[in-house]
Amino acid sequence: MEGAQRIVGVAVDFSPCSRHALKWAVDNLIREGDHLFLVTVRPDAFYEDGELQLWQVTGTPLIPLSEVSDPATMKKYDVSPDPETLDILNTVANQKNITVVMKIYWGDPREKICEAIDKVPLSCLVIGNRGLGTIKRAILGSVSNYVVNNGSCPVTVVKHPAP
């Protein structure tokens, strides 16, 4: 990924909210030659053996778009990309001549997204906002709010429109 003008990160969990944030990034931010870095965080999992145990702390190696689009590969990581998100990714990769990679982390999404910002390092990050009410946000915490306040790069929060 050396020599890239920009590495644009998008936090994805394959929900409608993250798909909306990805679409916003593609329509408003991504330009030809960029690298699109998808950050996915899974809940903590404890594996007794296998390669996932090796990546529990550091996250997976970079996964190219061709493997993100492969159901068998994604099943190994317990990740299920939806067809609409895959369509967005494949279309932008072809139309804007960009490189798309994903890295999967395990643990607290707030901490792991901030870790990705620093370690990649990302030029900027786009993250969705589920639009939790004040009470739910106070109880559950807001990943996007945490990343905005603790991330070391510009962070854009894309609010998911109400149905």
Digit-coded pLDDT (tens) for 70-98: 999 898 888 999 999 999 999 999 999 99
Query: Distances from the Cα of 127 to the Cαs of 12, 53, 90, in angstroms?
Result: 8, 27, 20
Model pLDDT, residue 89: 96
Model pLDDT, residue 2: 45
Residues of the chain with pLDDT under 70: 1-4, 44-57, 131-141, 162-163
Model pLDDT, residue 145: 86
CATH numbers and ranges of domains, the chain:
7-159 (3.40.50.620)
Q: Are 39 and 143 in contact (CB under 8 A)?
A: no
Model pLDDT, residue 1: 43
Model pLDDT, residue 45: 61
Model pLDDT, residue 59: 86
Nearest-10 crossing angle of helices 83-95, 16-28: 10
- What is the pTM assigned to this prediction? 0.86
Model pLDDT, residue 51: 57
Model pLDDT, residue 98: 95
Buried b (16+ CB within 10 A) or exposed e, 118-130: eebebbbbbbbbb
